[in-house]
A and B are shown apart, each in its own frame.
Chain A
Amino acid sequence: EAGVAQSPRYKIIEKRQSVAFWCNPISGHATLYWYQQILGQGPKLLIQFQNNGVVDDSQLPKDRFSAERLKGVDSTLKIQPAKLEDSAVYLCASSLNYNEKLFFGSGTQLSVL
């Protein structure tokens, strides 16, 4: 079966610019996650969707980050404006349902200069 698709693979922007990441989960997976992974650290959950509803976004910096899941399938994560500390790998994952194993995409490596 096809895995979780993410794009772009790499992105370099200057601080205060905006950026968007796209994720297409595995077909039929109800739960979609966006994680931020800073070098040397574990993935940090930014937002979790169940179908097209938000389950948890308690660690999402809502003044600059936004995310949506269109029709309960694809998802986009946006940062506007970006800060230097946003440099990280942004991982999208999906699971059949919550409490099930996660399948991760290859991630988007963001560098903010």
Chain B
Amino acid sequence: GQQVMQIPQYQHVQEGEDFTTYCNSSTTLSNIQWYKQRPGGHPVFLIQLVKSGEVKKQKRLTFQFGEAKKNSSLHITATQTTDVGTYFCARDFGNEKLTFGTGTRLTIIP
């Protein structure tokens, strides 16, 4: 079936270190969205990527969509305690259905 792996499952970093999470698909994606969920909260939209090779930046966050539109990454530069949470990619395989990945849970060591 259409599955997308998200790695790593957990990441513990020292405050100020960088963080990267990856979303990999076995099939081509129509587009990909990224969400952040704080502990006890609900997912909040971060970005949507549509074009092959697309790169978008939001302050310390950099989002990339692979050339083959099968993988994506989220990179955070110089993490802060406010970055704590679980980051999900959500994929559209072109069937109008948004499927969420398993998420990467980021914890920050002050």
State yes or no: do A and B come from one complex: yes
Which A residues contact B (CB, under 8 angstroms)? Answer: 33, 35, 41-45, 48, 55-56, 91, 93, 98-99, 101-107
Report the nearest A residue to B42, measured CB to CB: A104
User: Given A43-B100, A99-B96, does the pair A104, B31 have CB atoms closer than 8 Å?
Assistant: no
Residues in A whose Cβ lies below 8 Å from that of B85: none
Give Cα A106–Cα B43 distance, bound, in whole angstroms: 9
Report the nearest A residue to B94, measured CB to CB: A99
What is the distance, in angstroms, from A105's C-beta to the closest C-beta of chain B? 7
Total contacting residues, chain B, CB less than 8 A? 23
Q: Pull 30 A–B residue pairs with CB atoms less than 8 Å apart, ordered by A.
A: A33-B98, A35-B100, A41-B102, A41-B103, A42-B103, A43-B43, A43-B88, A43-B100, A44-B100, A45-B100, A48-B97, A55-B96, A56-B96, A56-B97, A91-B43, A99-B30, A99-B31, A99-B96, A101-B33, A101-B48, A102-B35, A102-B43, A102-B45, A102-B90, A102-B98, A103-B45, A105-B42, A106-B41, A106-B42, A107-B42
Sorted from nearest, which 10 A-B pairs have the closest CB atoms? Answer: A42-B100, A104-B42, A101-B45, A98-B96, A43-B100, A42-B103, A56-B97, A42-B102, A104-B43, A42-B88
Give Cα A104–Cα B38 distance, bound, in whole angstroms: 13
Residues in A whose Cβ lies below 8 Å from that of B35: 102
Of the candidates A45, A105, A106, the one whose C-beta lies within 8 Å of that of B97 is A45
Having A42-B101, A45-B98, A56-B95, one finds 4 other A-B pairs with CB under 8 Å, namely A41-B102, A42-B102, A45-B99, A106-B41
Residues in B whose Cβ lies below 8 Å from that of A105: 42
B44 within 8 A of A: yes
- Per-position binary interface string of chain B over residues 30-66, scored 1 when its CB falls under 8 Å from any chain A CB and 0 otherwise: 1101010000011111001000000000000000000
Give Cα A48–Cα B103 distance, bound, in whole angstroms: 21
B83 within 8 A of A: no
